[in-house]
Structure 1
Amino acid sequence: MRNIALLALLTLFSANVASAADATCEAKAAEKKLAGAAKASFIKKCEKDAKANNAQASCDAKAAEKKLAGAAKTSFVKKCVKDSSAK
């Protein structure tokens, strides 16, 4: 039951981070006074980086939940991040 609650919380957090990343990236682009293709490129990279960071944090939390350490944790997190980026 605790695992389900944790996964539900991570899912909600992921959805909120995605929408927050959009606004944050837009704000950063405006702060840098970017326009046109430069702005579009910056926002695309910013959102990709935010998604990758979110996946890393989520996978780290899952590894901690499974009480993994050392090489097992590294391997698990690497595969988890790869799988989440494929979605």
Structure 2
Amino acid sequence: MDLEDFHGTERIADPPRKLTTENAPEPQAPKTGDLTYFAPWGNLAIFYKDGPSASSDLLVLGHIDADADQLSGADRITIEAAP
């Protein structure tokens, strides 16, 4: 997926389809390196700066171990389902 900058805080991309939020994790504030899903828009985001306070609309899915400069300059991401 191609990434674009959003609000000088995160890189966002639109997955091929919306994800289900059934059994979603408890909301938490995103931190640098977090991979998130914003349910209302159906997009993924990688935060290269700490994000806003916790919101039930923003779900943290995982974490990427990279520094902020690498994340802020990322143009593309590939995500695969775990076996």
Give TM class, smaller chain: under 0.3
Q: What is the TM-score when the length of structure 2 is the normalising length?
A: 0.24
Q: Larger relative CO (CA 8 A, sep 6+): 1 or 2?
A: 2
Quick check: which one's strand share is greater?
A: 2
Q: What is the TM-score when the length of structure 1 is the normalising length?
A: 0.24
Structure whose CA Rg is larger: 1
